[in-house]
Structure 1
Amino acid sequence: MKLKVLPLISMLAVSALSSCATGPNAQQGSVIGALGGAAAGGIIGNQSGRGLEGAAIGAGLGAVAGNAIGNSKDQRNGYYRRY
């Protein structure tokens, strides 16, 4: 039962963490990171018989990493969100 909740928790964490930076490169980085992380996590998870869980965890980690990289590019390019 505990392992079925893990993908849900990782997806909630991703949505909470990736919403912090919303520049154009940060958004694009989140999407690309999530897709790449899901692919890599699915492949790695398939080796242990848990492909869906691996894909969910990989998507979460990839989205967070992609958002951080994209946000760094946005800051370097001088894009700042004004409230």
Structure 2
Amino acid sequence: MNKLLLAALVAGTLGACTAREQNTATGAVVGAGAGALVGGLATGRAGGALAGAAIGGAGGAIIGSATTQDRVCVGRDEWGRRVSYAC
């Protein structure tokens, strides 16, 4: 059961489409793991581990998303003006 859950988490982080989605998923997995470890050790109960996983996962997802730089390309439109667009 645990191996199946771990395999699903790894597949979810690798299956992201963009760099931002991949960093968000990776941050969520790492944060949830660290939060579960700290919560479980701090309280000695499964509820503490679950709360730590939820808080760590949310925090990791936010940090992973926020630290990803947006790719911006510069080109020219049909009138020759410089334009910036996401690429």
Quick one: which amino acid aligns to residue 40 of structure 1?
A: A
TM-score (norm 2): 0.56
TM-score (norm 1): 0.59
Following TM superposition, by how much is the alpha carbon of 1:56 offset from its aligned partner in structure 2, in angstroms? 0.4
Quick one: which amino acid aligns to residue 30 of structure 1?
A: T
Quick one: which amino acid aligns to residue 51 of structure 1?
A: A
Q: How much is the aligned-residue C-alpha RMSD, in angstroms?
A: 1.9
Question: 2:38 & 2:63 partners in 1: Cα distance?
Answer: 18
Question: 1:62 & 1:35 partners in 2: Cα distance?
Answer: 7
Aligned to 1:12: none
* Match among 47, 60, 67 for residue 62 of structure 1: 60
Quick one: which amino acid aligns to residue 32 of structure 1?
A: T
Structure 1: which 5+ residue stretches go unaligned? 1-22
Question: 1:29 & 1:68 partners in 2: Cα distance?
Answer: 9
Pairwise mapping of residues 1-80 of structure 1 onto structure 2 (< 5 A)? Answer: 24-47=18-41, 48=43, 49=45, 50-70=48-68, 72=69, 75=70, 77-78=71-72, 80=86
Corresponding pairs, count: 55
Structure 2: which 5+ residue stretches go unaligned? 1-16, 74-85
Following TM superposition, by how much is the alpha carbon of 1:78 offset from its aligned partner in structure 2, in angstroms? 2.0
Higher helix share: 1
